[in-house]
Amino acid sequence: MKKVLVTGADGFIGSHLVETLVRAGMEVRALCQYNSFSSWGWLDRSEFAGQFEVVLGDVRDPAQMRHVTKGVDTVFHLAALIAIPYSYQAPSSYVDTNVGGTLNLLQGALDNGVERFIQTSTSEVYGTARFVPISEEHPLQAQSPYSASKIGSDAMAYSFHASFDMPVVIARPFNTYGPRQSARAVIPTVITQLLSGKRALKLGALSPTRDFNFVQDTCDGFLALATSQGCVGQTVNIGSGTEISIGDTVELIAKIVGVDVEIECDEQRLRPAASEVERLCCDNRLIKSLTGFQPRFSLEDGLRATIDWLRVPDNLSRYKADIFNV
């Protein structure tokens, strides 16, 4: 692996992955979504600017995806629409971006003889756990249009492996958090409200559990899957194997920030009952056995790093703590 393409490079995980790959000595092409401001998202502020190539584009365009996959040996495909509430409002965009966009990347990568294609899945495809920890054998349950679109894009990626012998790995991260995560996710929602001085927090459901992973651990998992033998054609979970409720996570954040909080239930943040994923906890034995991967950050350490980053006024000012960010 020498020359790599990262899609979704302007976003939360993608920008950290670009930096991880640059640090590992790779030549990185970063695909950021085209916009008229020439914004590279979080990469605008990267300390590694100048050490990676940036291409602005759109995964929905097949000709362009054929072009950007030229001359790279590995593709990390992270570009996607990922917000669950927004997927209730605009499901068709999710099919176009997540399923159609993945198809365009796969076809381009196949035509250009890419040596490894890392498809980014999500633990959301499992829906509410029927057993824990959740292994890769767990049934898939499309409890939101987002989840359905990721099930579709994973299936498209697998089909390119089965049909064309394409070297595809389906990486399935569990919930990831850390600096730069979008405001729609629960951990930045809680921290930004607290750091903006609020003590009565507006939140949705508190009982669901999640397996939270610090973003550097998730990036290390991607790198491990891209560089290890034995992963091709497989779906592999990336997660810590720990489980905590949203309510307990809020209490832990409040303890680290050093404040007492009250929680107000904000009806608009509640998901329809059958759509809410009640329980997620990762079985990470497969990635450990294939790659030797080991998460390095405890939840408390990762939350401290995230809170410290958000304490920087310039970082906090990029979040709208007073509204429900869909």
Ligand X SMILES: NC(=O)c1ccc[n+]([C@@H]2O[C@H](COP(=O)([O-])OP(=O)(O)OC[C@H]3O[C@@H](n4cnc5c(N)ncnc54)[C@H](O)[C@@H]3O)[C@@H](O)[C@H]2O)c1
The residues binding ligand X (CB under 6 A) are: 8, 10-14, 33, 41, 58-60, 78-82, 97, 101, 120, 122, 173, 175-176, 182
The DSSP-derived string for 108-150 is: HHHHTT-SEEEEE--GGGG-S-SSSSB-TTSPP---SHHHHHH
Which tokens go with 246? 């949203």
Q: Which is nearer to ligand X, 22 or 280 (CB)?
A: 280
Q: Which is nearer to ligand X, 49 or 259 (CB)?
A: 49
Residue nearest to ligand X (CB): 11
Q: Which is nearer to ligand X, 161 or 210 (CB)?
A: 210
Q: Which is nearer to ligand X, 151 or 250 (CB)?
A: 151
Nearest Cα neighbor of 238 from 287, 280, 281, 279 is 287
Which tokens go with 243? 């489980």
The residues near 40 (Cβ < 8 Å, ≥ 6 apart) are 9, 10, 30, 32, 54, 56
Minimum Å gap between C-beta 21 and ligand X is 15
Minimum Å gap between C-beta 79 and ligand X is 4
Q: Which is nearer to ligand X, 198 or 269 (CB)?
A: 269
Minimum Å gap between C-beta 197 and ligand X is 26
8 A C-beta contact, residue 238 and residue 222: yes
Minimum Å gap between C-beta 300 and ligand X is 18
Minimum Å gap between C-beta 54 and ligand X is 12
The residues near 311 (Cβ < 8 Å, ≥ 6 apart) are 195
Minimum Å gap between C-beta 171 and ligand X is 8
Minimum Å gap between C-beta 274 and ligand X is 21
Q: Report the Cα–Cα distance between both ends of the chain, in Å, rounded.
A: 37
CA 72 to chain CA centroid, nearest Å: 22
Q: Which is nearer to ligand X, 13 or 226 (CB)?
A: 13
Alpha-carbon distance of 301 to 285, in angstroms, equals: 23
Alpha-carbon distance of 45 to 37, in angstroms, equals: 15
Q: Which is nearer to ligand X, 33 or 112 (CB)?
A: 33
Beta strands in the chain (DSSP E): 3-7, 27-33, 53-57, 74-77, 116-120, 168-173, 176-177, 200-203, 209-210, 213-214, 235-238, 244-245, 262-265
